[in-house]
Structure 1
Amino acid sequence: MHKYYVLFLTLFFLSCSNKKPSETTESKQSLSNISLVILGTVQDAGSPQIGCKKTCCDGLFETSNNDRQVISLGLIDSENQKTYMFEATPNIGTQMKILTKYETESDNELADGIFLTHAHIGHYTGLMYLGKEAMNAKNTPVYVMPRMKKFLTENGPWNQLVERKNIILHEMESEKPISLSESVEVTPILVPHRDEYSETVGYRIKGPNKSALFIPDIDKWEKWDKDIISEIEKVDYAFLDAAFYSGKEINNRDISEIPHPFVIESFKKFKDLSEKEKNKIVFIHFNHTNPLLNSNSEESLLVIEKGFKVGKMRDMFNL
């Protein structure tokens, strides 16, 4: 009987030792529980844009395209069953549904927080759907800079959202990280843009393994007091403003009124980057005229050929 008992213990410990706990841990780490998802790639006014008669809008008014959503990024934190949204766009209903479906362990229909960049129409007006005429949300955290907070609290209809506690405003400070969990950190960074009603920020988003830079709007790279190339080097992904491919698209507008880095300017700016660094760059925030909205266009193929990426709806990036 004693021999059988010794044999049993030997087999038991051998079986335990064959489980290789270190390999299991490594495999879990390689499949990140924290990810970013692109929820929209289009400039504020959407695509097709109101009143558009150009060929870039042909057929789009008659046939809706759910992949043409206004610029937004989602953060999925499956470790803590939470989601966060960057920007509150006019397409927030569709985008929120897409985002919250990724977190299968939660029944929430709203993200656990919304981060705003600035007070231009495509980036904050989706907040209206959190009010009493729509969802009538309760205490949704909205992260804002000081001028943005003042704008929302002192102007209707946004102040009604604050007074009714549909949203709770959390004031941020540039370069000061906000900890969302032990593994996730978000840092606002001031960028130069048309700041009529609020300052403008981009974000650094840091996960347990990787980090991202999100700059949907900036006037020109040269106007920033930071070096964009150095900022790209610090992260694993860089989601960058590419509103216009070139000046040809806006020959009927004064570009000084709506400055953005042209994609062809970004090509020159980033031409000396290594292949690895170029591959971090994901172009986003496309005007309705931008040929990068068409994945088969010559311009889209050139972006890929040069080593960059064109952002697309539902593209996922592990953090």
Structure 2
Amino acid sequence: MLSVALSLALIAAEPAVLTCTTELVVLGVAQDGGAPQFGNSADPAWSNPELRRLATSLGVINHDTGQRLLFEATPDLREQLYRLDQVMMTEARPGLDGIFLTHGHMGHYTGLMFLGFESMGAQGVPVFAMPQMAQYLSTSGPWEQLVRYGNIALQDLREGEGADVAGLTVTPFLVPHRQEYTEVVGFSIDGPDRSALFLPDIDSWEEWDEEGTRIEDMIASVDVAYLDATFFANGEIPGRDMSGFPHPFITHSMARFADLPATEKAKVRFIHFNHTNPVRFPDSPERQQVLDAGFGLADEGERYCLGD
């Protein structure tokens, strides 16, 4: 079995670095609004495109069957599908055999609009959604038009029940997070040889403890874990007490996971960085602090082999 370190590579690397039948591709690592953020004109990413980051999304490609999956439909969907094309092009447009949605917050589903009448005019793209999410899309404009016109075809998901598609089994699990419109889930993604955890949003690990689920057990059950890291620490947003923010700070997660074996720490790939989070900058001391502690930070273009 390949180690996490050997399984991760950049799209820019030579093809020989990563050869597998089924692979996961990181298509975005930012919080819903991306980076730089609207209204923050001082962000150096405005003048340096290399610092820009898209909203959090994963793609999965089965090279044997030619199938492609997407996790989240973000506002950056157009760019992310282009990036997916650079890994494996398909003749079909958009060439997606399934889109899996975690919940009804802006950065996680609004990219569906590009499949609609005013844009691509796609037909029958399978969208896997939990019951409240499916109900929301079916009854709330403008999303219900996508269903009515047949641009998307809703596929039912149920907690703890795996959906088999493209040679994978994708299983949703409920997590505590703001549920203004829909339930919120993460996904266990089981490939032919390795597995991944995708959990971009959660209120706190401790609230999950109270519901009977420990994040440490979830990490232990997979080979790589993409976990909510929206904020680095309290104080990164000037003038605001962030102690009640509904996300686990990276500093808190690192403290909680401090006693895990090095092999378990190495599974963690923090993701979903707010535009204020300093780890998004390659040379920041906070980014180095995370790496020195034995944890990983997801990078756009990163690839992980799920099946040899």
Tell whether 2:118 aligns with 1:171.
Answer: no
Tell whether 2:202 aligns with 1:218.
Answer: yes
Q: TM-score, normalization: structure 1?
A: 0.86
TM-fit CA distance, 1:273:
0.6
Aligned to 2:299: 312
Q: TM-score, normalization: structure 2?
A: 0.89
Per-residue CA deviation, residues 4-47 of structure 1 (Å, 9 max, x unaligned), is xxxxxxxxxxxxxxxxxxxxxxxxxx942101010000000111
- Seq. identity, %: 44
Please tell me whether the aligned partners of residues 67 and 313 of structure 1 are also in contact (alpha carbons under 8 angstroms). no
2:92 to 97, 108, 114: 108
Instruction: Label 1:66 to 1:109 Cα distance change in 2 as closer, same or farther (>3 A).
Output: farther
Aligned to 2:30: 42
Tell whether 2:221 aligns with 1:234.
Answer: yes
Q: Which amino acid aligns with 2:189?
A: I
Per-residue CA deviation, residues 207-239 of structure 1 (Å, 9 max, x unaligned), is 111000000000001111210001100100000
Gaps of at least 5 residues in structure 1 are 1-29
Aligned to 1:302: 289
Aligned to 2:188: 204
Q: Which amino acid aligns with 1:221?
A: W
Aligned to 1:265: 252
Aligned to 1:290: 277
Q: Secondary structure at the match of 1:249?
A: coil
Q: Decide which moves more: 141-150 or 255-264.
A: 255-264
Please tell me whether the aligned partners of residues 278 and 307 of structure 1 are also in contact (alpha carbons under 8 angstroms). yes
Tell whether 2:39 aligns with 1:51.
Answer: yes
Q: Distance in 2 between matches of 1:284 and 1:102?
A: 21
Gaps of at least 5 residues in structure 2 are 1-17
Instruction: Pick 1 or 2: higher relative contact order, CA cutoff 8 A, min separation 6.
Output: 2
Question: What CA RMSD, in Å, does the superposition of the two structures yield over aligned residues?
Answer: 1.6
Q: Distance in 2 between matches of 1:253 and 1:147?
A: 32
Q: Distance in 1 between matches of 2:85 and 2:71?
A: 13
Misfit runs of 4+, over 6 Å: none
Aligned to 1:79: 64
Q: Distance in 1 between matches of 2:270 and 2:152?
A: 31
Aligned to 2:77: 92
Q: Which amino acid aligns with 1:274?
A: P
Q: Secondary structure at the match of 1:37?
A: strand
Q: Which amino acid aligns with 2:60?
A: L
Tell whether 2:18 aligns with 1:33.
Answer: no
TM-fit CA distance, 1:109:
3.4
TM-fit CA distance, 1:253:
4.4
